[in-house]
Amino acid sequence: MSMRVNYEHELGLLNNDIKEMGRLVENSIEQCFIAFEDQNFEKAEDIIKGDRTINDLERSIEARCLSLILRQQPVAGDLRVVSSALKVVTDLERIGDHASDIAELVLRLKGEHVYHVIRHIPAMAAAAKEMVHASIEAFINQDLEAAKELQKKDDVVDELFDKVKTDVVELLKQPSGHIDQCIDLLMVAKYLERIGDHAVNVCEWTEFAKTGALKNVRIL
């Protein structure tokens, strides 16, 4: 097997690992809100435990990237792809952490159903999950146009975050108040907003892999 063919094979394995890590974090986001809606606290605990698997996969991917750099000594575009993969998995790991954080809040909200009053959280969760999925696809396919287009969708998540804050204010006006629950729900929304930000980061690393520029500054 020639060095180039071997590199392409290794890069294919790397992409498969990134896809799997993406699948795991997407699933964690989705399962968080199933657990919330169904009051399934065992599922929430499973999400928290499952974060360890995501962390282990991050380390495995980092090791593969470093091995590629040391053995294949890639240059130019190849080096950008491998080095950007190192950054992408960091963002994916943080998304996994935020899903775990949300699961912990689900456990704290046991027996409280104010989640259904804050009606924009499910839409925000769906939008954030879609952003994560699309950002990973853009990176794997090195689709610069898709990455640029997706970055605009972060505005949707931000707009929903503003609506959640409005929902919380309205809930606080009610006699019961639900003050503690409102704070927790605001934290859920904040974690979702951060997930959207990490998806944007993945898109920016896609741009770097293709062009060598990050935030319009030429790096490599």
pLDDT digits (tens, 9 = 90+) for 84-93: 999 999 999 9
How do residues 189-218 score in pLDDT, each as one tens digit? 999 999 999 999 999 999 999 999 888 777
Q: Which 3 state secondary structure label does DSSP give 217?
A: strand
pTM of the model: 0.93
User: Which pLDDT band, with edges at 50, 70 and 90, does 5 fall under?
Assistant: confident
Site of tokens 């394995």: 13
CA torsion sign, 196 to 199 to 203 to 205? Answer: positive
Q: Are strands 213-214 and 217-218 parallel, antiparallel or unpaired?
A: antiparallel
Whether the predicted pLDDT of 13 surpasses 60: yes
Domains of the chain (ranges; CATH) run: 3-218 (1.20.58.220)
Phi, psi (rounded to 5 degrees) for 218: -70, 125
Q: Where are the alpha helices (DSSP H) in 141-178?
A: 144-152, 154-172
- Which of these, 109, 97, 112, 115, lies nearest to 48 by C-alpha position? 97
Evaluate whether 60 touches 17 at the Cβ level (below 8 Å): yes
Task: Please name every residue paired with 217 in a beta bridge, in sequence order, or none if there are none.
Answer: 214
